[in-house]
Structure 1
Amino acid sequence: MQYIYENFTFPPDQSFTVRSEILEVKKYTSLKSHVNFEIALIENCFGKRFVGDHIEDFKGTELVLLGSYLPHCWQYYNTIDEKVQPQAVVVHFFPDFLGKDLLAKPEAALLNHLFENASKGILFSGPTVARAKIILNQMLFESGLSRAALMLQLLDVLAQSTSCKSLSSPSFNIVETSTEANKINRVFDYIFNNFKEDISLQDVASIIPMSTAAFCRFFKLKTNRTLVEFIKEIRVGHAAKLLMEGNHNVTETCYKSGYNNISNFNKHFKEVKGLSPRDFIKQYKITA
C-alpha cells in the first residue's frame, strides 16, 4: 500500500469540486491525504475503511467527512449487488470556500464545530446519509450559485446531524512531513505485500531503518497500534473478505491469511471481530 499526497487544483470557475466515480473492487488502493477537506459517499460495496489510526469493515452505503491532511483510503472487496456498479460521489473543498467572513458569522457556529471534528474523520449514519445522498446527486447536475447553495445545504445537514461518530482517535498524529510520509509509505507497503508470510519486528524496522525500540515508538505514535496489532487487523480483515466471498472454508482461509495454525487464527479473529470465523460467516449470510 502506497502513502501518497494528492494535490488538487480547482478549475478557475469553481471554489470546490464534486464528481462521481465507479469503484474498482478486489484491489488494494493507496493510503492518501490532501490539504483540502473531503466528503465521500460510498455505495454498493463492502470492504475495509482506513482513516487515521481507525480501521473498520464497512458494508453498503456510507458517508464520511475528512479533514485536512488526514490519511485515508477504502479497500473495496466486492459489490453488494452484482447487477449494480459500486460507486462514489466525492466533494473536495476548503472550509472557507465562500470566504472567511462566512465562518465568522454567528450562524456558522455549528459549521465551525463540524470542521474542527473533521480532523479525526466523521462517519454519518441513518437519515443524515439519505438526506446527503439526495443533495450530492443534485450537485452533480448543477453549477454556479445553484451548486454552491446545495453545498451549503449539505454542510448544514452534516453540521446538525446527531447520527455520527468520530473515526480516528484523539491521540492520532497527522503525518505532515515528506520524511515521515516516506517512512510510513515503506512500512505499509511492506506489510501489505507480505502479511500472508511471517513478518518480524526486526525486518520491518530495518526498512526505515530504525532500531526496534525506536520503530515501536514511531509506529505506535503514528498508528496508535503496535506492529503486532496492526498486522493482526490486516490479516483478519483479509480473512473476513475471503469468508464473505464464499470460495474458501475456515481452514483454507486461515492459511491464506498468514496464519500457521487454526487455533491462533480463531483467537485473533474473535479478538478483532467479536465472533468466531464460523459465527461471522453465519451472521454475514443472514444479513447479506
Structure 2
Amino acid sequence: MLSSGQRTVLPPHTRTSSRGRRRDDDLVGMMPDLELVEFGGARSFTVRSHGYPYRTVRWHFHPEYEIHLIVETTGRAFVGDYLGSFAPGNLVMTGPNVPHNWISDTEPGAVIACRCIFVQFTAEYINSCLEMFPELEDVWSLLQESQRGVEFSEATADRVRPVIFALQHAVGIERIELFLKLLRFLSEGGDRRLLASAAYKAAPADYMENTFNHVLAHVRANYTELLRESELAALCGCSRETFSRQFSRHTGLTFVQYVNGLRIHLACEMLTSTRVKITDVCYQTGFNNLSNFNRQFLQQKGVSPTVFRNCHRLNLACAVEVEHRIA
C-alpha cells in the first residue's frame, strides 16, 4: 500500500524513552544491528511471521533480500534514509544490507499476534535462478530497485498476500512454484515507488564497525561449535557481565538463549529434511549431551525431537495422499 512519507538523514534504532515511547530524534545516526537469517540445509529461502512487540523489531540489516508484508497495525516505516507511514497491506522489498524497521503505534501493553509476514532469500540464490531461467529477466530490474527499497501498490499487495501465506506451509516443489509466482506478481506490479533517496547507498562495512555486529557474525559462523561467553566478552574488550547486558540489549535474548535458538532451528531442518539419527543431530548442531538437547528442544518446540520428526512425516504422508486423490 503506497503511503506518503518524508526523508530524514538516517533512520533511528528502535528503542523506547523513559516513558515507554520511542523517540526518533534521540536516535538518529545509530548504526543498524546485524540480523542473522537462518535457512537450513533444505531451504532455498525462508518465510516467517511474527507479532508485536518482538525481539527482532529494531533498526537492522542483513545480506539477504526481503519481501515484507504488514498484516496488522499502523506506524512508521524506516528504509535506508526514508521515513514514512505504514498500514495493513504495506508491502515493501528491501535489497541486501539495506537497513530497515517498522515501528507500530500500539497502546502500552498491547500484544499483536501476527503483525507481519516476510520472505528472505540470498543474492546467490536469486542470481542462480536468473542464470538458469532467462524467463526471469523482468525480475532483474526489481532486484536493482530494491537497493533503495521498493513499496508496492495496494493492488499488488492484495495479489501477493495469499501467495505469501501459502508459502508458510508449502513444502517441496510447491514452495518453488509459489516463490516464482510471488516474483511474477511483484515484477508485474505497477505504480511501485522507490523509498530511499537516489544518493543513498547501503554501507555494510561501516555497519560492521559496531563490535557487536562482529560478535553476531562470529556466532553465526560458529554456533555449532563450542562458544564461551567469556571468550566473546574478551573479543569485545569488556567483562562478561557487561557483555551479557549488551548482548541482551542487542538481541532481546541471553547469550545462551540466542545460541540455543540457532541450534534448535538447525535441528528442526535436519529432522525434517534428512534421515540423520537424533543422537547425531544433537551433536552436529552443537549440543554436548542428548538430555540437554531434548530438554531445550521440548522447551522451544513443545514436543520432543522424535515427536517433531514423526509429525512432520505424517503431515507429508497426508499431503501426498490428498494429491493422489485429487489426481
Instruction: Classify the TM-score, shorter chain.
Output: 0.5 to 0.7
Shifted more, 122-131 versus 27-36: the winner is 27-36
- Distance (Å, rounded) in 2 between the aligned partners of 1:157 and 1:164: 12
Give the aligned partner of residue 72 of structure 2.
44
Structure 1 residues 85 and 61: alpha-carbon distance in aligned structure 2, compared to 1, 3 A threshold: farther
Aligned residue runs from structure 1 range 68-87, under 5 A: 68-78=96-106, 85-87=113-115
Task: Report the CA distance between 1:83 and its aligned residue.
Answer: 10
Closer/same/farther in 2, CA of residues 93 and 135 from structure 1, 3 Å limit: same
| One-letter amino acid of the counterpart of residue 69, structure 2 | L
Counterpart secondary structure, 2:140: helix
C-alpha distance 114-23 of structure 1, shift in aligned 2 (>3 A): same
The reply on whether 1:31 has 2:33 as its aligned counterpart is: no
Structure 1 residue 127: Cα displacement: 1.4
Aligned to 1:21: 50
Equivalent residue in structure 2 for 1:12, among 35, 38, 41: 41
Matched residue SS, 1:115: helix
Structure 1 residue 110 corresponds to structure 2 residue 148: no
Distance 1:5 1:44 in 2: 25
The aligned residue for residue 126 of structure 1 is: 154
Question: 1:143 aligns to what?
Answer: 171
3-state DSSP of counterpart to 1:61: coil
**Aligned residues of 1:22 and 1:86 also touching (Cα < 8 A):** yes
Q: CA RMSD in A?
A: 2.8
Check 1:106–1:69 CA distance in 2 against 1; reply closer, same or farther (3 A cut). Answer: same
Alignment gaps of 5+ in structure 2: 1-12, 14-29, 214-327
Contact persistence 1:121–1:168 (CA under 8 A): yes
TM-score (norm 1): 0.57
Structure 2 distance, partners of 1:120, 1:68, is 10
**Percentage identity across aligned positions?**
26
**1:172 and 1:102 mapped to 2: Cα distance?**
26
Structure 1 residue 163: Cα displacement: 2.8
Deviation per CA, 1:147-186: give whole Å up to 9, x if none. Answer: 1110110011001110311100110121221467539x9x
The aligned amino acid for 1:125 is S
Residue aligned with 1:150, SS? helix
Q: 1:93 and 1:114 mapped to 2: Cα distance? A: 14
After TM superposition, the structure 1 = structure 2 runs for residues 90-239 of structure 1, keeping only pairs within 5 Å, are: 90-97=118-125, 100=128, 102-103=130-131, 105-178=133-206, 182=210
Query: Cα deviations across residues 108-140 of structure 1 (Å, max 9, x unaligned)?
Result: 221111111110000112211011001011111
SS of the equivalent of 1:44 reads coil
Name the CA distance, whole Å, in 2 between partners of 1:103 and 1:160.
20
Q: Which runs of 5+ in 1 are unaligned?
A: 186-288
Query: Which residue is 1:231 aligned to?
Result: none
Q: Where is the strand percentage greater, Structure 1 or Structure 2? A: 1
> For residue 255 of structure 2, what is the aligned residue in structure 1?
none
